[in-house]
Amino acid sequence: MFAALKARLPRLAEPPLPEALRVAGRDIALEITRNPRARRLTLRIARDGKAARVTAPPNVRNAEVSAFLARHMGWLETKLAAYPDKPVLRERVKVPLAGVPHRIIRHGGRGVTARTTGDDGPELHVFCLPDAVGRRVADHLKREARRVIEPMALALAERTGRKVKAIRYKDTASRWGSCASDGTLAFSWRIMMAPPKVIAYLVAHEVAHLSEMNHGPRFWALCHALCPDTDECRAWLKRNGAKLQAIGFE
């Protein structure tokens, strides 16, 4: 009876949730999504490290969301520590290419993006206006992805007796790669910032899915057969992947 009476009482207005959070000395946006299919509160960090995103069931009150955030503040601090403070690329800063930091050298006019070694170490030379540096670096990574990944994927697929229908290159927020049931592989071109053996692992991982569309024992056995460094490379991506995802190319 009391439960029925309570359900008929009007819900009192709740104080609004803040639009931003102060975490480890940084101000990040707070984005709340009410999802009818959600069964519990979940929390994740935006790819650029500039927002905390909470997904909540429709009936969860703001006070519960606030308490949930308070309980996970340590998690937020740990995750944000992996994001660079100034992730947007510009001239004279360094960007990893195949795992090696390269200083970006910008030139005016037109020219072909090229990697060289200068007096202070590896350099990436781009030709563009100052506000287009990130786009030029992204274009270079996309070309490298097509040049390196496609022949590697086709060779590994041939070893497994499978066919690759097509290969796509994307800038995905949460996945480094994917394999569709029709044999289409997709890769994040950001992986070209990782060391070569990590790139090779990612390709082996997705090619293994051509045979095993799961993460069961047979899948991992095949993945290890295609890439003996699987465990080491998985650990590298877990430690460093967020930093690569956080870099802004706009």
* pLDDT of amino acid 118: 82
Domain span including residue 157: 94-246
* pLDDT of amino acid 246: 80
Residues 119 and 231 in one domain: yes
Give a yes or no: residue 210 inside a domain. Answer: yes
pLDDT digits (tens, 9 = 90+) for 55-101: 999 999 999 999 999 999 999 888 887 766 555 788 888 999 999 99
**181 exposed, middle or buried (CB, 10 Å; 0-12, 13-18, 19+)?**
exposed
pLDDT digits (tens, 9 = 90+) for 196-228: 999 999 999 999 999 999 999 999 999 999 999
Q: Give CA separation, 160 vs 118, 151, 208, 228, in Å.
A: 42, 15, 8, 15
Give a yes or no: residue 2 inside a domain. Answer: no
- Domain's final residue, options 57, 80, 103: 80
DSSP 51-109: EEEEEE-TT--HHHHHHHHHHTHHHHHHHHTTS-SS-B--TTSEEEETTEEEEEEEESS
Contact 248, 50 (CB under 8 A): no
Overall domain count for the chain = 2
Helix axes 73-80, 62-71, angle to 10 degrees: 60
* pLDDT of amino acid 86: 54
Kindly compute the dihedral angle of the four CA atoms of residues 92, 95, 99, 101, in this order, to the nearest 10 degrees: 10
Range list of H helices, the chain: 2-8, 62-71, 73-80, 133-160, 196-208, 217-226, 230-246
Give a yes or no: residue 128 inside a domain. Answer: yes
Least confident of 55-69, 91-105, 137-151, 234-248: 234-248
pLDDT higher than threshold 90 for residue 120: no
Residues 62 and 102 in one domain: no
116: left (phi over 0), alpha (psi -120 to 50) or beta: beta
Residues 113 and 199 in one domain: yes
| Identity of residue 102 | H
